[in-house]
Amino acid sequence: MGCGERLGPFTKGLGMGKGLFATQLIRKGDTVFVERPVVAAQFLWNALYRYRACDHCLRALEKAEENAQRLTGKPGQVLPHPELCAVRKDLHQNCPQCQVVYCSAECRLAAAEQYHQVLCPGPSQDDPLHPLNKLQEAWRSVHYPPETASIMLMARMVATVKQAKDKDRWIRLFSQFCNKTANEEEEIVHKLLGDKFKGQLELLRRLFTEALYEEALSQWFTPDGFRSLFALVGTNGQGIGTSSLSQWVHACDALELKPRDREQLDAFIDQLYKDIEAATGEFLNCEGSGLFVLQSCCNHSCVPNAETSFPENNFLLHVTALEDIKPGEEICISYLDCCQRERSRHSRHRILRENYLFVCSCPKCLAEADEPNVTSEEEEEDEEEEEGEPEDAELGDEMTDV
């Protein structure tokens, strides 16, 4: 991979392409690294549907019981062991100007120092004619759930540069994320916005420019530059999921209980999730995405040796070894979810080619190279169902539950 940057127990390849390699033995279950995103943002529909998250770190703000009540549609839903809920409402703070909510004073100050001074709408938070509100409404009109990106991630990138004293440093940082050819960028934008993407992209560019123009980033506001910015976010954005209810469930799992009490608690939790599925479907978490420098260097494998998660119920990404990783071995994650990884090589390649524009050559794909390029009847049925979903349903890294 050529030259590399030494980063603790791993190194970042900087040669022909990106990659992350172990420099010492990493044991199964070890945390390879923990990373804070360069920038992150909650998905706009997710926020509109009252999935309450910290406006900076995406930590879930609802108490676990409140979360269960909303997701089941049962205002009287009560959870046992309420003391296991980790949400600290006494620490929550609002922006004094626009009233967006943060989980702590630290997050409020961090947002203000990085980007929020530029993006704060003040008393115009609910004014539909405010330039940022017009931009967000336009985005929601073209990018429906299941969401995979947010125009506000791009807005926070611009706002970060606008506020920065050393603008060049941040521009260099954002430039580390991979770039695509013009044709590849068009494919990614098409996937995000659908068949009418050219007209929609121009509308978003005009509103984006009206709300956020910055001379130091003038290239980002041109038609070609804006398309490139879209493609950067579309291919590098890592899904983030947080949930106070999920945190409560994990805490319940750790309780030392008598067998009968354990059986009753597990049955209660199983029924709770059935009730949630009936009322809410698959949308359980506060969801958003972020740009992570190290995570973006991790290449895909259909048999990954590491996985991403958000165990701290915020935007801090943990990469954990799924098996022993030897010195010199590449650290790979999967861009596919568990079900997709069990599909045929042909189906996996189709998903990766359509969403990430590459052909996988991992050990599993090479071992299955002689298989016919066909899908099973069951997979064909799944693909027909997917064709009925919004075109962006698969784009973006796997949303990792907490």
pTM (two decimals)? 0.86
Q: Residue 324 domain-assigned? A: yes
Q: What is the pLDDT, as a whole number, of residue 3?
A: 33
Together in a domain, 48 and 195: yes
The answer for residues whose C-beta is within 8 angstroms of residue 126's C-beta and 6 or more apart is 133
Number of domains composing the chain? 2
State the average pLDDT over residues 366-376: 76
- Average pLDDT (117-130) is 96
Assess whether 327 and 217 both reside in one domain. Answer: no
Q: Is residue 387's pLDDT more than 80?
A: no
Q: What is the pLDDT of residues 266-291, one digit of tens each?
A: 999 999 999 999 999 889 999 999 99
Last residue of a domain, one of 238, 271, 303: 238
Report the alpha-carbon distance of residue 204 to residue 374 in Å, rounded.
Answer: 39
Q: Is residue 132 part of a domain?
A: yes
In this structure, the answer to whether residues 100 and 221 fall within a common structural domain is: yes
CATH of residue 344's domain is: 2.170.270.10
Residues 216 and 362 in one domain: no
Identify any residues that bridge with 22 across adjacent strands, giving them in sequence order.
10
Which of 339, 323, 342, 317 is CA-nearest to residue 400? Answer: 317
Give the end of a domain, one of 194, 219, 238. Answer: 238
pLDDT at 370: 83
- In this structure, of 75-84, 139-148, 196-205, 385-394, the range with the lowest mean pLDDT score is 385-394
Answer yes or no: do 215 and 175 share one domain.
Answer: yes
Top mean pLDDT of 18-22, 195-199, 250-254 is at 250-254
Residue 386 clears pLDDT 70, i.e. is over it: no
Percent of the chain clearing pLDDT 70 (strictly above): 87
Same domain, 196 and 232: yes
Q: What is the dihedral of CA 217, 223, 229, 233, to 10 degrees?
A: 150
pLDDT tens per residue across span 10-33: 565 443 368 999 999 999 999 999
| Residues 197, 338 within the same domain | no
pLDDT at residue 400 in the model: 45
- Could you tell me if residue 114 is inside a domain? yes
Q: What is the pLDDT of residue 24?
A: 95
**Is residue 30 assigned to a domain?**
yes
Same domain, 22 and 113: no
pLDDT for position 382: 54
Answer whether residue 282 is part of any domain: no
Residue 283 neighbours by CB distance under 10 Å:
15
- Asked whether residue 390 is domain-assigned, the answer is no
Residue 44 has pLDDT above 70, yes or no: yes
CA distances from 42 to 89, 138, 285, 343 (A): 19, 16, 11, 30
- Distances 280 to 46, 182, 241, 318, 364 between C-alpha atoms, Å: 13, 39, 16, 28, 36
C-beta separation of 231 from 185 below 8 A: yes
- Residue 328 — very low, low, confident or very high, per pLDDT cuts 50/70/90? very high
Pair 45, 31 in one domain:
no
Q: Which of 198, 220, 238 is where one domain is finished?
A: 238
Q: Are residues 76 and 201 in the same domain?
A: yes
What's the whole-number mean pLDDT along residues 83-105?
A: 97
Examine the domain organization and report whether 60 and 202 are in the same domain: yes
Domain encompassing residue 339: 8-37+292-370
Mean residue pLDDT across the chain: 88
Residue 379 has pLDDT above 80, yes or no: no
251 occurs within a structural domain? no
Residue 380 inside a domain? The answer is no
If asked whether residues 213 and 360 sit together in one domain, one would say no
By 3-state DSSP, what share of the chain in percent is helix, strand and coil, each rounded to 5? 45, 15, 40
Flag whether pLDDT at 391 surpasses 70: no
pLDDT at 99: 96
Tell me the range of 18-27, 108-117, 172-181, 227-236 where mean pLDDT is highest: 108-117
Mean pLDDT of 144-167: 95
Q: Which two tokens stand for residue 96?
A: 């004094």
Judged against a pLDDT cut of 80, whether residue 169 lies above it is answered with: yes
**Of the candidates 57, 29, 108, 38, the residue with the CA atom closest to the CA atom of residue 318:** 29
